[in-house]
C-alpha cells in the first residue's frame, strides 16, 4: 500500500469568458468556478478531478410570515423573514454561514429557535407569551421591547 502524504489543497478562482468546451459556445454570463484537485475528490469534498464546478454566490433566502407553522429549516446563506413569527408557531431556523433577520415580531404564544453563524436581528418586539432562543456567533439584537409575559434566551460569544 503506497504511503499517501496529505498536503494543503489550493483552490483557484477563475472566470470563464471564452468558449465552454462541452457545448462549443460562449457562456451567457461569466461565472466564478473552482478548480477541483484530486485530493479534494479523495477526501469526498468535490466531484471528478480536473472538472470545474460552479461556486454559486450565496443570495439571501427570503421567507414569508411564519403563521401557525411547526417546522425546522436550515440554510447556508443569510435568511430574512419578511413578516412575523406568530399564531402558536414552533419554528427553528438555522443559517450555517450567515445572518438571520426577522423584519416582524415574535408573537401569539409562538416559540422561535434562531441559530446563526453571524448576527441575529429581530426588528419587532417579542410579545404575547412567546419564547425566543437566539444563538449567534456574532451580535444578537432585539430592536423593540420584550413584553407580554414572553421569555428570551440569548447566546453569543460577545
103 and 25 within one domain: no
C-alpha cell at 150: 414572553
Q: Is residue 132 part of a domain?
A: yes
Number of domains in the chain: 2
* Phi, psi of 42, deg, nearest 5: -60, -35
Task: Please tell me the distance from the alpha carbon of residue 21 to that of residue 149, in angstroms, as a whole number.
Answer: 63
Q: Using a pLDDT cut of 70, give the percent of the chain over it.
A: 64
> Confidence band (pLDDT; 50, 70, 90) for 68?
very high
Rounded to an integer, what distance in angstroms lies between the CA atom of residue 54 and that of residue 78? 20
Mean local confidence (pLDDT), 47-73: 75
For 48, the domain range is 13-54
Residue 5 lies in a domain: no
Amino acid at each position: 500500500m503506497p504511503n499517501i502524504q496529505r498536503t494543503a489543497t489550493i483552490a483557484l478562482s477563475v472566470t470563464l469568458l471564452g468558449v465552454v468546451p462541452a457545448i462549443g459556445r460562449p457562456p451567457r454570463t461569466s461565472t466564478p468556478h473552482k478548480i477541483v484537485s484530486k485530493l479534494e475528490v479523495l477526501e469526498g469534498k468535490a466531484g471528478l478531478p480536473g472538472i470545474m464546478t460552479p461556486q454559486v454566490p450565496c443570495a439571501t433566502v427570503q421567507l414569508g410570515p411564519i403563521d401557525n407553522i411547526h417546522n425546522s429549516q436550515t440554510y447556508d446563506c443569510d435568511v430574512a423573514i419578511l413578516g412575523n413569527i406568530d399564531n402558536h408557531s414552533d419554528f427553528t431556523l438555522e443559517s450555517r454561514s450567515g445572518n438571520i433577520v426577522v423584519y416582524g415580531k415574535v408573537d401569539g404564544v409562538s416559540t422561535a429557535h434562531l441559530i446563526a453563524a453571524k448576527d441575529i436581528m429581530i426588528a419587532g418586539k417579542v410579545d404575547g407569551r412567546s419564547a425566543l432562543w437566539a444563538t449567534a456567533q456574532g451580535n444578537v439584537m432585539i430592536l423593540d421591547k420584550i413584553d407580554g409575559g414572553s421569555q428570551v434566551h440569548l447566546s453569543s460569544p460577545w
